[in-house]
A = this chain, B = another copy of it.
Amino acid sequence: MTSAVVQLKKKDFVSDQDVRWCPGCGDYAILNAMQRIMPELGVPKEKIVFVSGIGCSSRFPYYMNTYGFHTIHGRAPAFATGLKCTNPDLTVWLVTGDGDGLSIGGNHLLHVIRRNVDINILLFNNKIYGLTKGQYSPTSEVGTVTKSTPLGSLDRPLNPLRFALASEATFVARTYDTDLKHMQQVFKAAAAHKGVSFVEILQNCPIFNDGCWTENLAKKVRKDKVLFLEHGKPMVYGADKNRGLKLDGLALEKTSWEGDETPADVFVHDSTVESSVLATLLTEFTDPIPVGIFREVQAQPYDEALINQLDVAKDKSKGQGLAELYRQGANTWTVE
Write the residues of chain A forming the contact surface with B, with a CB cutoff of 8 angstroms.
103-107, 110-111, 114-116, 138, 151-152, 154-159, 162-163, 165-168, 247, 249-251, 275-278, 280-281, 284, 299, 302, 305-306, 309, 312-313
Q: Do the beta carbons of B163 and A166 come within 8 Å of each other?
A: yes
Nearest first, the 5 closest Cβ-Cβ pairs linking A and B are A166-B166, A107-B107, A106-B107, A154-B305, A162-B166
Given contacts A250-B281, A275-B250, A277-B251, contact A309 B151 (CB under 8 A): yes
Q: For A278, list chain B residues within 8 Å (CB).
A: 250
Give every chain B residue within 8 A of A151 (Cβ-Cβ): 309, 312-313
CB-CB nearest in chain B for A281: B277
The answer on a CB contact under 8 Å between A158 and B168 is yes
Across the interface, which residues of B come within 8 angstroms of A103, CB to CB?
Answer: 111
21 A–B contacts, CB within 8 A, in A order: A104-B107, A106-B106, A106-B110, A107-B110, A110-B110, A111-B138, A114-B158, A115-B154, A115-B155, A116-B156, A151-B309, A156-B168, A159-B166, A165-B166, A166-B167, A250-B275, A250-B278, A250-B281, A276-B280, A277-B277, A277-B280
CB distance from A52 to the nearest CB of B (A): 18
Whole-angstrom distance between the Cβ of A47 and the nearest chain B Cβ? 23
Task: State whether B111 touches A106 (Cβ < 8 A).
Answer: yes
> Does the CB pair A114–B155 fall under 8 Å?
yes
Considering the chains assembled together, what is the distance between the CA atoms of A247 and B163 in angstroms? 25
Q: What separation, in Å, do the CA atoms of A110 and B115 have in the docked complex? A: 18
- Inter-chain contact B275/A284, CB cutoff 8 Å: yes
B-chain residues with CB within 8 Å of residue A166 when the two chains form the complex: 158-159, 162-163, 165-167
A109 to chain B, nearest CB (A): 9
B250 touches A306 (CB 8 A): no
Chain B residues with CB below 8 A from A157, complex form: 114
Q: Which residue of B lies closest to A301 (CB)?
A: B154
Q: How far is the CA of A118 from the CA of B211 in the complex (A)?
A: 33
> Given contacts A106-B106, A110-B106, A167-B158, are A277 and B302 in contact (CB under 8 A)?
no
Considering the chains assembled together, what is the distance between the CA atoms of A3 and B236 in angstroms? 64
Cβ–Cβ < 8 Å partners of A305 in chain B? 154
Are A154 and B107 also in contact (CB < 8 A) when A251-B275, A277-B280 are? no
Q: Cα distance A274–B110 when bound, in Å? A: 24
- Other than A104-B107, A110-B163, A152-B309, give 13 A-B pairs with Cβ distance below 8 A: A103-B111, A107-B110, A110-B158, A111-B155, A115-B155, A115-B156, A116-B156, A154-B302, A247-B249, A250-B277, A275-B281, A275-B284, A280-B280
Rounded to whole Å, the gap between the CB of A308 and the closest CB of chain B is 9
> Closest residue of chain B to A278, judged by CB?
B250
Q: Is the CB of B249 within 8 A of A299?
A: no
With a cutoff of 8 Å between Cβ atoms, the chain B residues found around residue A276 in the complex are 280, 284
Complex Cα spacing A247 to B251, Å: 12
What is the minimal beta-carbon distance from A134 to any residue of chain B, in angstroms?
A: 18
* CB atoms of A154 and B247 under 8 A apart: no
Residues of chain B with a CB closer than 8 A to A154's CB: 115, 302, 305-306, 309
